A = this chain, B = another copy of it.
Amino acid sequence: MERACKELFQGLRDAIRRLSMELRKDYLLDKYVIVAADRAKRPSDFMKEKEEERNNNICPFCPGNEHMTPEETGRHHENNGWKIRWFTNKFPAVEMSKGDGVIRTDKDFFTYSDAHGVHELIIDTPIHHQQMWDLDSRHLADLLGAYNYRTEELYRIPGIYYVAVFKNHGKEAGTSIYHSHSQVIGFNAVPSLVRELLDACKHYDGCPFCRIIEAEMNSERKVAETENFLSFAPYASVFPFEAWIFPKRHARALGNLKDCFFELAHMLKGILGSLKQLNCSYNIIFVNSPLDADLHFHIRVIPRISKQGGFEMLGSYINAVSPEQAAAFYRGEQS
């Protein structure tokens, strides 16, 4: 009897799982994801156990140790100290001193230049154990201000064609130093995601993202909405619990949104607060437009819960959390 019950339950569970399996394409790109949501799993099943910081070395990002970092480029003052500070990365991926940054091609297939650009670190907070999801909206708004300031400064440098702004939180997201920090890399090429989005946009009259925002505003995937912003779990999410934030009005960069940084920070804070419950690694990327293009600026929050395997290396994806489930989680309807 017990066995029969178990089998029945298993059968029902499998049937439900199958019903929820779907292939979906990215809004714009030729990128497919199989949404194979395991409905028996709740968001809390993805929760990671707390990982304590292991090393007890002196932290170069803490107040008092400013001499351990390269020379400060700037700071957001607070009282007698700083709230946020930035400087060139001690181990930069790109540098201005290296050459002319002109990209050349040898024998058709070998395209290269010196690793040309500026690689900066922004220390998000002076407090060692405060992570980004612990910052209040006011502090996050100041951080957006710092991102924007560095972005605009780096775009002014001739030969820099893209300024990538991103945040890595946790080991699975590629961070090696525990003290919360963000990165800005201005360099002489356009990242392939940005290039692909720009190419895809050419197939539409007007900005397709303006229309996607309109469509997601009333969907099951909506996370939150304010006067100027919409957040949602994208239709063909590649990563479990992926969330995007768009300004409703067409804007090319953070710099066009200066009047509402606090509102944006508050929306971001809501998403990060949910991720804190999962205690997971995540990346945030700030997808701004190159100067000579007009891409709709947005923010992608990318939790790094699942591992990518060979199927993903081919450019196909399997996501075990449907975007509809993810949005419900962010809306506080599941835990």
The 6 closest A-B pairs by CB, nearest first: A166-B310, A174-B309, A192-B315, A25-B111, A193-B315, A191-B314
Q: Which residues of B contact A109 (CB under 8 A)?
A: 27-28, 208, 211-212, 215, 235
On A, residues with C-beta under 8 Å from B are 18, 21-25, 27-32, 34-36, 93-95, 98, 103, 107-116, 164, 166-168, 171-175, 183, 185, 187-196, 208, 211-212, 215, 235, 283-285, 287, 300, 302, 306-316, 318
Counted per complex, copies of this chain come to: 2
7 A–B pairs (Cβ distance < 8 Å), ordered by A: A23-B116, A23-B187, A23-B188, A25-B103, A110-B235, A174-B308, A174-B309
By DSSP majority rule, is chain A's interface helix, strand, loop, or mixed?
mixed
- A164/B311 in contact, CB under 8 A: yes
- A166/B311 in contact, CB under 8 A: yes
Closest to A32 in B: B189
Give bound CA distance, A306 to B192, whole Å: 20
- B113/A18 in contact, CB under 8 A: no
Q: Which of B27, B174, B189 contacts A23 (CB 8 A)?
A: B189
Q: Which residues of B contact A283 (CB under 8 A)?
A: 309-310, 313
- B183/A310 in contact, CB under 8 A: yes
Given A314-B287, A315-B193, A316-B164, decide whether A174 and B307 contact each other with a Cβ distance below 8 A: yes
Q: Which of B18, B113, B191, B308 contacts A98 (CB 8 A)?
A: B18
Give bound CA distance, A223 to B239, whole Å: 34
